[in-house]
Structure 1
Amino acid sequence: MITTPEHDQRIAKMFFASVYPHYLTKIEKKGRTLDELHQVMQWLTGFTPKKIEALIEENVTLEQFFKQATLNQNAHLIKGVICGYRIEDITTPLTQQVRYLDKLVDELAKGRKMEKILRSEK
């Protein structure tokens, strides 16, 4: 799916520190833990909880956040619709990566089992 340049720029310029509390609130409301959120984020990005904290303190944008990330080799297995967009059809890499994270957080909040969230080749 083609996103507009304005949409992609808005996502790129968002600060990770402004998005992170929303992820945490979303999963905690559903009985999931900070450790589980960090596990999901580490699987996708390679960032340890300590690195995530440092990136929040540095006030990095989502663009800077994903530039520093080492995306999991199985991230392409994340499929489905999030925020009205089919993830596998998003053509802008950064927007797709942000939606990968959104989808994983959404699945965590919905109570999906961790081994299903942390995808692996079969």
Structure 2
Amino acid sequence: MKSLISIIIPVYRGNPVYFNKTIESCLNQTYDYVEVIIIDNGCNDALQDTLSELNTKENVTVVKNSKSGVCSGRNLGVKTAKGDYIMFLDADDWIESNACEILLNHAVEAEADCV
């Protein structure tokens, strides 16, 4: 059985250009068992259409959260996550296309709970 990786991204006033790159980097992973959880901490209007569109994707979940801050958003993401492993990104971060695969391989080889 493959391990599921949950990528949690709290978003507040994200720049659409950076946010789109963040999402693309998550959805284009070489490892297929990835779920993306976006925590909407009161996003600006520029991102609302993008969030609505992303919420229709099979491996993406958008969760509304009151404007309680990034820590609250991450905690809500952890409660929502179904993955065996959890990764946190900010709305302006992105990862290499093989990041999840490499990190999971290291975790499995080392029998580690975190990498």
TM-score bucket of the superposed structures, by smaller chain: under 0.3
Point out the structure with the larger helix share: 1
Point out the structure with the larger strand share: 2
So what's the TM-score if we normalise by structure 1? 0.27
